[in-house]
Amino acid sequence: MTRVDFYHLTRSPLERALPRLLMRVWRSGARAVVLAGSLERVRTLNSLLWTFDANTWLPHGCVDDGHADRQPIWLTDHEERPNDATLAVLTDGMVVADPGAWARVLELFDGHDAAAVAAARERWRSAREAGHALYYWQQTEQGGWTEKARANDPDTADGEGRNGARD
């Protein structure tokens, strides 16, 4: 069973939230692939991750950088795993062919875009029916995250779960 986390962006755009989430991924030792909607978007995010904080270094790369196998975080516009990633980070409405092929999937979606919200709800339903462990996170006023819902959670008796806050 794959863990799928839905991140509902309501307070800040992807460009502010993504670097913080990727720092957590990198610090955990996981290898990730970030799927973006186009090669242009990949290049924009690549540049952003080098410059989002002058005091922070987040190792990553994309097709322009090469050495994909050495990159703990790989940005791409199509599903691939050149860095042996176990974690997929989905942006811009991107999807993976089989969420079950990943240890964990993070889906970030814009809460101010009705179509993005509707699509995320549909993917939640589909992933729930497939038996994946689901977690829904909403941004707090401070830009952190509050867990709002769970489904198919192996840590609770009924598969539904607790609410909690995280930054």
Rounded distance between C-alpha atoms, residue 69 and residue 82, angstroms: 5
**What confidence score (pLDDT) does residue 153 get?**
85
Distance of CA 83 to the CA centre of its chain: 17
∠ CA 40-41-46, nearest 5°, is 100
- Of the candidates 1, 15, 3, 14, which has an alpha carbon nearest to the alpha carbon of residue 88? 3
Q: Using an 8 Å Cβ cutoff, are 42 and 63 in contact? A: yes
**What confidence score (pLDDT) does residue 155 get?**
77
Q: Model-level pTM? A: 0.92
**What confidence score (pLDDT) does residue 163 get?**
46
Structure tokens at 26: 């990198």
Instruction: Give the model confidence (pLDDT) of 77-133 as tens digits.
Output: 999 999 999 999 999 999 999 999 999 999 999 999 999 999 999 999 999 999 999
> Is pLDDT at 161 greater than 60 in this prediction?
no
Residue 167's pLDDT band (boundaries 50, 70, 90)?
very low
**What confidence score (pLDDT) does residue 110 get?**
97
- CATH superfamily ID and name for 3-166: DNA polymerase III subunit chi (3.40.50.10110)
**What confidence score (pLDDT) does residue 72 get?**
98
CA distances from 108 to 85, 94, 139, 154, 156 (A): 18, 10, 11, 23, 25
**What confidence score (pLDDT) does residue 113 get?**
97
- Supply the mean pLDDT for the chain: 93
Rounded distance between C-alpha atoms, residue 138 and residue 166, angstroms: 10
% the chain with pLDDT above 70:
93
Q: Where are the domains of the chain?
A: 3-166
> Is pLDDT at 162 greater than 80 in this prediction?
no
